[in-house]
Structure 1
Amino acid sequence: MEWYLENVYEIKAQAPYTFYVPSKEVIGRLKRGDIVKLIFSAPEGKDGFAGERMWVEITERTGDDFKGVLANEPFIVESLEVGDEITFAVEHVCDTEYEDPDAEDLDAYFDTKILVSNDVLEREEFNFMLRDHADEPEDSGWTVMSGFEDDEALNNPEEYQYISIGKVLNIDASILAFIQDEPLCAYERNEEGAFIKIEDYDWDAYLNE
């Protein structure tokens, strides 16, 4: 089965708040004998899967280029076996065994939840946000909507789901400017595409729904 290694920096560029890549500091420490994780993609796939992450033990390093041997049994890429030599580079390393502060920062985006309408996920667009008091520690209290939902969708709990806040940031990271605002607060996107605070939002109506 044909396979290739994914460029993790390209994936990171598409999902900066949900996809981890090792920091430059960690990459700089890698040496012979260390184990790193690579993403092996196989276009033909198996059982509906098109790739898998596997550990490789480094046997040689020359600058940003590496050689290593496969350290675990493949499930998808059947043409590979444990011990096979793998040639790879820095841009293929998606994980290591070293502790990394960058990973801890990313954990917060995974662990913090935000309520979004299904329409936001379908459109990959949102234009309205409000923050209520949260009942659970992992709940940010934020609700995000596209602004195109009809009345039926707005009032149907099945049209909403909790996801990691990092997935919303992948769509538009400009909300980091006010994501720590205390509840109660609401924002909408203006004609220029920027979010502005709604100073006269009708909270009485919202809280009495």
Structure 2
Amino acid sequence: MSWYFDNVYELNKESPYTFYVPSSEVLDKLKVGDLVKLIFVNKEEEDDGFSGERMWVEITQINGEKFVGKLDNEPYRLPLKSGDEISFGVENICDTEYEDPTSSNWDFYFDTKVTVSDDVLEKREFNFMLRDNPNGGDDSGWSILSGYEDDDFLSDSENFQFISIGVILNIDDSILGFIQEPPLCAYERNDEGEFNKIDDYDWDAYLNG
């Protein structure tokens, strides 16, 4: 069984609001003796779905953005053992033991929940958003639609998911400009691809319908 390291910057590029990478402030603090987490990927996915492991490595040498360390975990399946010497780069570090000053942003991306239609997730496109009063917990009150859903689709709760807002930001992060606006508000994408606020949205019909 052969393996390689995932490049966390490439993964973050694909999913910038749902794949965390340590900030430069954290990476600049790293020193010999610190623990960092790396993603060890199996080159060929196993029949049972096993594709790799995230494991801690203790840094023993630092040379710019290149590191040497020793494995601090006992692998579940990969052909390695605790104490093995590991060479890696800063691009392979997916986590550290340091508190990250950007953690509040990531908490928002992961913990803020929105209601999204399956059509949005299938098309990776959304054109209408409205914010009702939240139902408590992590609910933001936002509902997000593609704009192509018909009445039958909208009337079936099975066609909606309650997910982290980071998933939606991965599709289009232009909404960050108004995502903190309080309820009640509604936005629609115009022909130029930009979101405009619907000032005359019929909230009475929506709330009492």
Verify same fold: TM over 0.5.
yes
Q: What amino acid is aligned across from residue 44 of structure 1 in structure 2? A: E
Deviation at 1:153, TM superposition (A): 1.0
Alignment of 1:1-209 (within 5 A): 1-46=1-46, 47-77=48-78, 79-209=79-209
Give the letter aligned to residue 42 of structure 2. A
Q: How many residues align?
A: 208
AA in 1 matched with 2:9? Y
For 1:129, the aligned partner's letter is M
2: distance between equivalents of 1:183 and 1:45? 46
Q: Which amino acid aligns with 1:205?
A: A
Contact 1:45/1:76 (8 A) holds in 2:
no
SS state at 1:61 partner = strand
Q: Residue 161 of structure 1: SS of its match in structure 2? A: strand
Distance, in Å, in 2 between the alignment partners of 1:27 and 1:176 is: 27
Q: Which amino acid aligns with 2:24?
A: K
| AA in 2 matched with 1:133 | N
* Matched-pair identity in %: 62
| Divergent runs of 4+, >4 A | none
| SS of equivalent residue, structure 2 residue 135 | coil
Instruction: Provide Cα deviations, 1:114-151, integer angstroms capped at 9, x if missing partner.
Output: 00001111111111100001120311100001111121
- Across the aligned residues of Structure 1 and Structure 2, the Cα RMSD in angstroms comes to 1.1
- Encode CA deviations 1:28-77: one digit per residue, 9 max, x unaligned: 11111111000111132332021221111111111110001111111242
CA contact (8 A) 1:186 1:197 kept: yes
* SS of equivalent to 1:45: coil
CA distance in 1 between counterparts of 2:201 and 2:104 reads: 36
Task: Indicate if the aligned counterparts of 1:42 and 1:76 stay in contact, CA closer than 8 A.
Answer: no
Aligned with 1:101: secondary structure?
coil
Q: Distance in 2 between matches of 1:31 and 1:37?
A: 14
Distance 1:56 1:49 in 2: 21
* Unmatched runs of 5 consecutive residues or more in structure 1: none
| 3-state SS in 2 of match to 1:179 | coil
**1 CA distance for matches of 2:50 and 2:197?**
43
The separation in 1 between residues aligned to 2:82 and 2:153, in whole angstroms, is: 51
Unaligned runs of 5+ in 2: none
Residue 66 of structure 1 aligns to which amino acid in structure 2? F
Any idea what the Cα deviations from partners look like across 1:167-200, whole Å, max 9, x if unmatched? 1111110001111112111111111111111112
| TM-score, scaled relative to structure 1 | 0.96
